[in-house]
Amino acid sequence: MKVVMVGGRNIAYHLTRTFLNKGHNVIVVNRDESFCADMAKKFRATVIHGDGSDRHVIEQLELAKDDLFVALTMHDSDNLVSCLLAKQAFDIENTAALVNDPDNKEVFRRMGIHTVVSPTEILATAIEDSMLREEIVNIFPNSDKVAIFRVQIKEGAPVLGKKIREAEIPEEGVIGAILRGRDVVIPRGDTMIEEQDVLIVLMNAKAQTRVLERLIGEE
């Protein structure tokens, strides 16, 4: 499989090394001539000095439908254009783009970009997670639709000592499993929530504050 990376510097460098180590053919396209020269010296990759949002540059890549095309520039419009050109020229399905403005994520998805990554959102999520109490761990942090939390029940938690059907957990959340010591308990309506239980909770991402407050109480 060929992996094409358009733009970027540090992230393009590290991704190039990673994909080459996994045995893939890597093509680097970048406007920065000195960066291209440096990449050509350090890696056994095809390096093209050019604009990845230029149709003539994209069309010379000779890609196959199952190759991977990744746009990494700091300009969302350029990333979108590059991915769309690759889709039009080679019918590529595996396109990925860096989105610097999180508000643009939905636009990229509607235009058929397969993977859309927002560093701003990832950083915001990491900061939020670091501010949560130690009994809460977000184990699926990069989704804006589904949240999965690992929640430890301690003394004073509102649901402690209650059966699940009595716990009044908001309908947007569901307890998928309970880790109790070395055992895994598949929860039922009459399962009692005990102190030190670790709940694996699935929920609508937009409702996570209400669900967590019901499980462990307010901050």
CATH node for 2-117: 3.40.50.720
Smallest CA-to-CA distance from 173 within 183, 187, 194, 190 is with: 187
User: What does the alpha-carbon distance between residue 109 and residue 99 come to, in Å, rounded to a whole number?
Assistant: 11
Residue with tokens 């029940």: 153
* SS3 assignment, position 96: strand
User: What does the alpha-carbon distance between residue 31 and residue 132 come to, in Å, rounded to a whole number?
Assistant: 42
Q: How many CB atoms lie within 10 A of CB 209?
A: 12
Please determine whether the domains at 2-117 and 124-216 fall in the same fold group of CATH. Answer: no
Q: Regarding the domain delimited by 124-216, which CATH topology (the fold level of the hierarchy) does it fall under? A: Alpha-Beta Plaits (3.30.70)
| Residue ranges covered by each domain of the chain | 2-117, 124-216
Digits of tens for pLDDT over the chain (219 positions)?
999 999 998 889 999 999 999 999 999 999 999 999 999 999 999 999 999 999 999 999 989 999 999 999 999 999 999 999 999 999 998 999 999 898 899 999 999 999 998 887 776 665 555 555 555 666 666 566 778 888 899 999 999 999 999 999 998 899 989 999 888 898 999 999 999 999 999 888 888 888 999 999 865
**Using one digit for the tens of pLDDT, what is the confidence trace for 151-180?**
899 999 999 999 999 999 998 899 989 999
* Single-letter code of the amino acid located at 182: R
CA atoms within 13 A on the CB side of 27: 21
Smallest CA-to-CA distance from 105 within 70, 141, 80, 74 is with: 80
